[in-house]
Chain A
């Protein structure tokens, strides 16, 4: 299958603040990551807190360039990171959906077509036309997921967002991610919810200290992860 993104020996270390430099502790970040995301796959990333999962997603999204190594991609990439990140709290759900669409490079007309779908999927009812600051965190993640998946990026990066919301919405968003895959989109998902990863991933990687230490089928990677966590 065609790759949609290729990372070649990518390294990025965060700068260490001056006052901690003497401690000689390994800076956080990612190191020597080589990775290919193929079309139509759901790649899960798991690892302990601070192991570099979110940094890896930010590099894939093109938020900042790696220190060394190359990243090449095809088509549109979208990163959904955290609940309500990027939404303007004074704007309504609808206005934020338009803004998000524009960030994805869509014209207002194209968004007009999709807006009903976003509204009905999010099931926010009258809240859809209320400012985001009145939303609960569950409502924010509903909006986030329905907006991000509606614009069908070629590669959707999801950071710890899918596991939130109530049971029925979680089910729905899993379906939505599978739909996206059917339309030959690809998804990279970072989560700590092993059940979710097991259910939707086709391949997984385990990272620790910014390095890939295991790649393979979800079952194998998850069992390695559980062993690691028990130590």
Chain B
């Protein structure tokens, strides 16, 4: 071939098959890993830079919230479970992992418009960096559990490895659903109002203040339980508590299956919708 390769202009918006899009998204993220790293660093930096206590806030926040909720709950129910504060802390960390990665990825298109006009960067990067930042924060805030290990003599077993697994699953699920919602939120701003409502309602509908046991003793294993397992945070948060306390809450197999299925489905549909719709949706921002 005598044709100079420099002559070739590549079309900016080539068509790609729908079924390839999840892989396209993964490939884009992998190629942009350096940028992702910097964006996460930037977010972490910027969040606590001006605060005197810095990253300590990531640990203090769930700890202080746990104090408040324990106080409320002992008044409401008269519960005297000494491990209740630990369960609440795990609930708060798990829930905020999910809700934050959901909201940041949903809002990512409008919040980072300034950045993706600088250069041609895959837009998934900005949705993902928010979710990753929250994952790092959640991992930092896990350190507030350490004192409880000494106070309650909690078991240190291999089961603990499930703790990061469930946390990452929570973040992954929120991210996938956020990818799905992000382009819609550009066209229909009401989605943001809906998300704000869902996050507030979800706080009470997810096992943050209550536990799987409480649910079981009150509602049993009937259709209530099936509906509850549809909430993608119920099984992972319970799994986190089981991993730390070395207990088994007796989650049925379909519960595990359902939460992993929702996570994968959210990722597949989310990336497909995002790659197809996000680019043209930005016009509305």
Contacts and interface: CB of A to CB of B under 8 A. Distances in A.
Interface of A: 2-6, 12, 14-15, 58, 61-66, 70-74, 76-81, 85-86, 88, 90-91, 95, 98-100, 102-108, 131, 153
6 contacts: A2-B4, A3-B9, A72-B9, A74-B8, A90-B46, A105-B35
Nearest to B31: A105
B280 interface: yes
A63 B119 contact: no
Main secondary structure of the interface of B (DSSP, over half): helix
A81 B117 contact: yes
B117 A58 contact: yes
B253 interface: no
B11 A71 contact: yes
Contact of B120 (A15, A62, A86, A131): A62
Given A64-B282, A65-B280, A95 B42 contact: yes
B214 interface: no
Main secondary structure of the interface of A (DSSP, over half): mixed
A65 B279 contact: yes
B121 A103 contact: yes
Contacts of B114: 85-86
Contacts of A90: 45-46, 49-50
Contacts of A73: 9-10, 12
Given A2-B7, A74-B6, A103-B115, A91 B42 contact: yes
A78 B10 CA distance: 16
Given A65-B13, A95-B45, 15 more contacts: A12-B283, A63-B113, A64-B283, A66-B13, A73-B9, A73-B12, A74-B10, A77-B119, A78-B119, A79-B117, A88-B42, A91-B42, A103-B118, A104-B118, A108-B34
Contacts of B11: 70-72
B2 to A, nearest CB: 15
A65 B12 contact: yes
B116 to A, nearest CB: 6
B72 interface: no
Contacts of A78: 118-119
Contact of A63 (B6, B32, B38, B116): B116
Nearest to A66: B13
Interface residues of B, number: 33
A14 B9 CA distance: 27
Nearest 8 A-B pairs (CB), nearest first?
A: A72-B9, A90-B46, A102-B35, A86-B114, A65-B13, A64-B282, A102-B38, A63-B117
Given A2-B7, A65-B13, A86-B114, A99 B38 contact: yes
Given A70-B11, A102-B38, A15 B284 contact: yes
Given A2-B6, A85-B114, A99 B120 contact: no
B119 A104 contact: yes
Nearest to A14: B283
Scoring A2, A15, A90 by chain B CB atoms within 10 A of each residue's CB, the highest score goes to A90
Nearest to A74: B9
Interface string B25-36: 000000010110
Nearest to A109: B34
B39 interface: yes
Interface in B16-74: 32, 34-35, 38-39, 42, 45-46, 49-50
B39 to A, nearest CB: 7
B38 A77 contact: no
A98 B38 CA distance: 8
B34 A102 contact: yes
Contacts of A80: 118
Contacts of B39: 99, 102
A166 to B, nearest CB: 25
B261 to A, nearest CB: 33
B20 to A, nearest CB: 18
A99 B8 CA distance: 29
A47 B11 CA distance: 27
Contacts of B46: 88, 90-91
Contacts of A2: 4, 6-7
